[in-house]
Amino acid sequence: MKIDQSTKIGWIGTGVMGKSMFGHLLDKGYQGFVYTRTPEKASPSMEKGAVWCNSPADVAQQADIVFTMVGFPDDVREVYLAPGTLIDSAKPGTILVDMTTTNPSLAVEIYRNALSKGVFTIDAPVSGGDVGARNATLSIMAGGDREVFDNIMSLFEIMGKKIVYQGKAGSGQHTKMCNQIQIAGTMIGMCESLLYGYKAGLDLETMLSSISGGAAACWSLDNLAPRILKRDFEPGFFVRHFIKDMGIALEEARRMKISLPGLALVQQLYQSVSALGYDEKGTQALMLALENLSGIPR
């Protein structure tokens, strides 16, 4: 398939990140077809010219390439593998690109099912949160057939800044697990450093100006620490989705017979965030749980 302005793009899932990612493609003039479970969330896409579809099957029948950005592995399974949905409805030669973070084993299952029907798939989870989605600076990590990846590289470049082919089907999802394991460690470090600085009586903005330029520098310090200082806990990435991702990583670790005690600890702390009622907040809400544990009224 040659990618040009006549290529019809389908998109399923226009949440916090998906709406911006699809929006960048529409801004480049591609004809778009959209479905999401909450129709009003498709309004920004439709205002840019996307055509509403009544089901994933409808999207598959209209589009040459379909991107999905949904919530949980069960959602991915339903969209791709349930009877009469994407794989069943896609025309031979269609490319399906799942940008949801999900189980590597599910990505392989989808790849094999699709290939048996002449349909191609790429697993391409992303990192960068709402900021990266809005600014088209996402990191995209892809698994699947190299020639299919190369064919749609120009579309990835519209949404992201660092796009890397990782290997066979499932490799994109495994790479995203490495990403989430790393982020889990930096999140607890970032929140605990702010908590320590607060109790020590430091001016936190001044403190951050020092440590964010040294060996402690990381994305969380640059993007989430300022939100915490403003008491802004709205989602760039939902707590409930991060708990899901850490669960996938721990499940894969058990399968590979390796121990990740640091990740298990961070997941337990995020379960505390969830228990406090902050599932729909951003991952920086970890600070709320740590403040609660320390008895700090804020």
Catalytic residues: 176
Q: Quick check: 221 and 229 in contact, CB under 8 A?
A: no
Q: How many CB atoms lie within 10 A of CB 229?
A: 14
Q: Quick check: 285 and 233 in contact, CB under 8 A?
A: yes
Q: Half-sphere exposure of residue 163, counting CA atoms within 13 Å on the CB side?
A: 19
Those residues with Cβ within 8 angstroms of residue 187's Cβ, 6 or more apart along the chain or in another chain: 220, 224, 266, 283, 284, 286
Cα(168)–Cα(222) distance, integer angstroms: 33
Angle, alpha carbons 207-213-217 (nearest 5°): 95
Choose among 188, 196, 127: nearest CA to 161. 127
Cα(73)–Cα(225) distance, integer angstroms: 29
Cα(241)–Cα(219) distance, integer angstroms: 18
Cα(55)–Cα(84) distance, integer angstroms: 10
Reduced to 3 states, what is the DSSP secondary structure of residue 185? helix
296 φ, ψ to 5°?
-95, 115
Per-residue tokens: 262: 């640091």
